[in-house]
Chain A
Amino acid sequence: MNKFSWYEATSKVEAQREANSTVSETIQPDADPEAAVFKASGIDLLDLMKEGLSKPAKLVSIRNIPGMDEVSYNKEKGLRLGANVTLAGITANPQIKKNYLALHQAASHAATPPIRNMATLAGNLVQRTHCWYFRSKELVCFRKGSSTCFAHVGENENHAIMSYGYCVSIHSSSLAIALTAFDAIVEITDKNGKIKLVPMKEFFVLPSVDRTRETILKPAELITAVILPEPKTHTVSYYIKMGSRRSQDWPMAEVAVVAGLSGEKCKTANVVLGAAAPVPFISKAAIDAITGKTINETTATAAGEAAMQIAVPLSKNGYKIPVFKTIIKRAILSLGKPPENVIDWALPDRIH
């Protein structure tokens, strides 16, 4: 890692006064050599710095700002998760498990147990893509300022199958998949202390809009919380991550489904796919396939088929299509069942 100075902020104001850049800016060729960026747990930031991709001059720790790891509930506003709540904290929260099962599942299947003890909610949202060309210091890819996307003609088995432009990277945050499905809202405090409420589906930026960053965050803007709206009655959810291994590993495909049920009938639905596109992908086709219908094997299968209609796989990731069809079907059929009665596909119960 490059040498850097360290600032332990004790308030948001103090942190925002010190920070002058974003991690994404430090990866660009025109990065400010004096860049000061926020660090919470810093799992992704330290990874980028150890690779030599990001070389900030100063890290501003926001980890110990009082109140930023609080969870509060208000019947009108819903559940407010402080930006510094850890993934383990989300997993252990009984209210999240009861009312927002898909978020509980996404958090409990991300990374590894010690990382979940460290990594924060906001850090998970703003981590950069894990495209191996982007993550390699030797290669200056399209996202890092050149005119070449190496994944297009290279090793693209983990890359996007839909909604990509020239850059075919996929989005890294599993929590964002579940949070998008719940219509969560990102609470951002801007440099002047003003609070902006941004719907999760507007928080991420496609590379075709701006290839240098993945979120709308500007320098010194701080995510202070994520707000989950109060679930309507009979709202159920489910999340499935499919990786090439059952423990750790990034998803090759993941899906979060949130639905409002009336008996067996699906009144409202939201289906969001991860590891499919450069941002969390809301599958309108899958939503239409189950909305107003009875949930059964036929409609669940139809939703998976419909979702993959628009997929345009790259040379090596066509395998993702049947995987997505299967997990979309399984997630829809698992809706509303108590978690102990459904198979947890990601638990490592067959390691040996």
Chain B
Amino acid sequence: MAMNPMEQFKIEPIVPLHIGGYDVSFTNQSLVMVAIVAVATLFLSFSVSSRRLVPTRLQSMAELSYEFVQGMIQSAAGNDGMRFFPFVFTLFFFVLFSNFFGLIPGVFTVTSQIAVTFALAALVVLTVIVTGFLKHGIGFLKLFVPHAPLPLLFLLVPIEVISFFTRPISLSVRLFANMLAGHTMLKVFAGFVIALGGAGGILTGLAIAPMLLIVAISALELLVAFLQAYVFAVLTCIYLNEALHLHGH
């Protein structure tokens, strides 16, 4: 039994694999990622049939997800943001399923790894940069020049540049830290339950307190899991909107 709350974030190889001198073993994390893809594919593709007038529950959920992400993109990035629909949808679902899967006891939390969240955030910022330059050419650099008097620009442009390039950090650390903190907290309180339960006497009875707390925190974590996926996707939409329309034109 692992009492160390960090134990749950440890990546353990299942099938050792080395390609070009790199250790790319199939790990407990890889297993969950593959499971996410499998479940998401089943949910999003095979539950949907256009022949049904009245959708099944699963199809209804898939349709709601579709319209949810569609609405998110359209409100944040306008209609020409819809070309990023598959990208934002994939991002949202990958993060959402990672967060939800992590809440199943014993299942590894993919998004509790900074490598994963940073890679996703970097992918977002890279997409923004490529889109911006493809759409506006060198004019995309105007993104860093806000409407302000010239003397102020000497101050504002560096700030804009810094804020732009810290985006991948804030985007990835927000998700990573939320997942890490939530799961650590759950594990710590679970440790209390075991320690108190084994202590005997009146302390055994007290074990109910952290137990109830775990139940409450689990509900909170469910909300956080959804909220963080939503925040990640919405921020992606907002950044893409800037790349498409510069200063909100």
Partners in one complex: no
Interface residues of A (CB under 8 A from B): none
